[in-house]
Amino acid sequence: MDPDTRAGSLARQNAQAECRINEIFFSLQGESIKVGLPTIFIRLTGCPLRCSYCDTAYAFHDGKKMTIDAIIQDISQYRTKHVTVTGGEPLAQKSCHELLARLCDESYQVSLETSGAIDVANVDDRVMKIMDLKTPSSKEEAKNNFDNLIHLTTKDQLKFVIGDRPDYEWSIKKMNELKLTDLCEVLFSPEHEALSPTDLANWILEDKLNVRMQVQLHKYLWSNVPGK
C-alpha cells in the first residue's frame, strides 16, 4: 500500500472511531489559564478513580457512543475554537487520542483535563494538558503516576486540589522535591466545599509561593447546575 493510500485509510478509520460521550456543552472555562473563555466541553464517560471531592460522578457510567465525525459535526454549531476534553478520566478511553488529534487537525485550541493516573506519553503534542496530582484528602494519592511528569512541557499545567492544611503542605513538598515549577505552571485550587479560598490565598502569600491560585469560576456562577 502506497503512503497516500495508507494515510487515507488511517484517516477513515479515525473518523469512524467511537468515544462514549457523557455530554457536550458550551460554557465558560472555569479553571486553568484560560479561565473565563467561552469553551466547548466534551465530557467522556468513565473513570478509574473515585476522588472524595468528585463533582462529576454522573459521568462514571452514563453516555452514548458517537463517532469522531459526529462529535466534530456536533460542536461545529458553536462559535469558538476553544475545546476542553474532560471526564471522568478521558484517557480511560483509548479512542480519546484520536479525538484529540482530530480536534487539533480541525484547528481547535484543545485542552485535556486528566488525573495523570493514565499514561499521557501519546497525547498529541498540540494539546495543552491540565494534569492533577492527587492530594491526600482525595483518597486517590496512590494513583499518581509521577512518570507522566517527563511528558509535560511549558504549555501544560499541573493542578493541586487542596482540601486542608495537610494537603497544602504535601503539595509544597511535592512541588519542591520534583521541581515542578521548572516543568510548567503550577495551579493551587481550593476544594470548593472544604477550604476557604481566602485561607489558601493567605497561605500562598505568606509562603511566597511561585504558583497560580485559581478558584472554580463555574461553581460561583452556576452552583446549582451540574456539569457547568
* Model pLDDT for residues 28-87, shown as the tens digit of each residue: 999 999 999 999 999 999 999 999 999 899 999 989 999 999 999 999 999 999 999 999
* Model pLDDT for residues 205-214, shown as the tens digit of each residue: 999 999 999 9
Structural domain span for residue 134 = 3-221
User: Does pTM surpass 0.75?
Assistant: yes
In a domain, 227, yes or no: no
At 59, phi and psi to the nearest 5? -90, 0
Q: How confident is the model at residue 228 (pLDDT cuts 50, 70, 90)?
A: very low
Q: Cα dist. 25→42, 62, 75 in Å?
A: 7, 15, 9
* Domains of the chain: total: 1
In a domain, 14, yes or no: yes
DSSP strand pairing (128-132 vs 157-162):
parallel
66 touches 21 (CB < 8 A): yes
In a domain, 73, yes or no: yes
Angle at the Cα of 209 from the Cα atoms of 154 and 188, rounded to 5 degrees: 65
In a domain, 226, yes or no: no
Specify the CATH number for the domain of residue 210: 3.20.20.70
Q: Is the pLDDT of residue 139 over 90?
A: yes
| pLDDT on residue 6 | 42
DSSP for 194-224, written as a single string: TS-HHHHHHHHHHTT---EE---HHHHH-TT
In a domain, 228, yes or no: no
Q: How confident is the model at residue 14 (pLDDT cuts 50, 70, 90)?
A: low
In a domain, 185, yes or no: yes
* Model pLDDT for residues 169-221, shown as the tens digit of each residue: 999 999 999 999 999 999 999 998 889 999 999 999 999 999 999 998 877 88
Q: Which residue has the higher pLDDT, 148 or 218?
A: 148
| pLDDT on residue 206 | 98
In a domain, 193, yes or no: yes
